């Protein structure tokens, strides 16, 4: 009887350990990342062989401080998070900001790639597949700003053509 109790205790202990370890391991999938091209691209260091970035930087300020705060990140923080290549490296509230950004731009031929963000606004470069010419990327900057400006959720959208971020 003592042996049977010991076996049950060991089995229970192993089951609890397994449960705890699975709860602590990073999530490999995120509903936002799976459905949202901005969130998917957010995990990568750009530019790379697959993606071009615009030279111009687009500044976006959402009318709700909460969204701006969700996108709050310095350039070094973004680079550090992206170097891991794991969605769990990003703060959990970031998904809310990426979701809001995706809802504003919808299905456009470009994706916004964040270069930094403050409490009042975030800055992005336009990202497009490398198969597009640099001219095609540049041509999409002002349509992107117009799309952002047309949203009731965005209070400010502007372009800095000479940005060196």
pLDDT for the residue numbered 25:
41
Dihedral of the alpha carbons of 127, 132, 137, 139, in degrees to the nearest 10: -150
Question: Between 94-105 and 141-149, two packed helices, what is the crossing angle to 10 degrees?
Answer: 100
pLDDT for the residue numbered 94:
93
Residues of the chain with pLDDT under 50: 10, 12, 15-30, 165
């Amino acid at each position: 009887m003592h042996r049977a109790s010991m076996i049950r205790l060991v089995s229970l202990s192993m089951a609890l350990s397994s449960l705890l370890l699975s709860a602590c391991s990073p999530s490999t999938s995120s509903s936002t990342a799976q459905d949202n091209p901005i969130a998917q691209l957010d995990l990568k260091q750009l530019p790379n062989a697959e993606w071009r970035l615009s030279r111009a930087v687009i500044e976006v300020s959402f009318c709700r401080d909460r969204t701006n705060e969700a996108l709050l990140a310095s350039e070094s923080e973004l680079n550090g998070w992206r170097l891991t290549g794991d969605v769990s490296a990003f703060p959990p509230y970031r998904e809310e900001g990426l979701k809001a950004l995706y809802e504003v731009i919808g299905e456009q031929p470009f994706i916004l790639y964040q270069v930094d963000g403050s409490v009042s606004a975030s800055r992005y470069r336009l990202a497009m597949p490398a198969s597009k010419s640099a001219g095609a990327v540049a041509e999409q900057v002002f349509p992107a700003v117009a799309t952002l400006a047309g949203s009731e959720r965005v209070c400010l959208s502007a372009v800095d053509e000479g940005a060196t971020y």
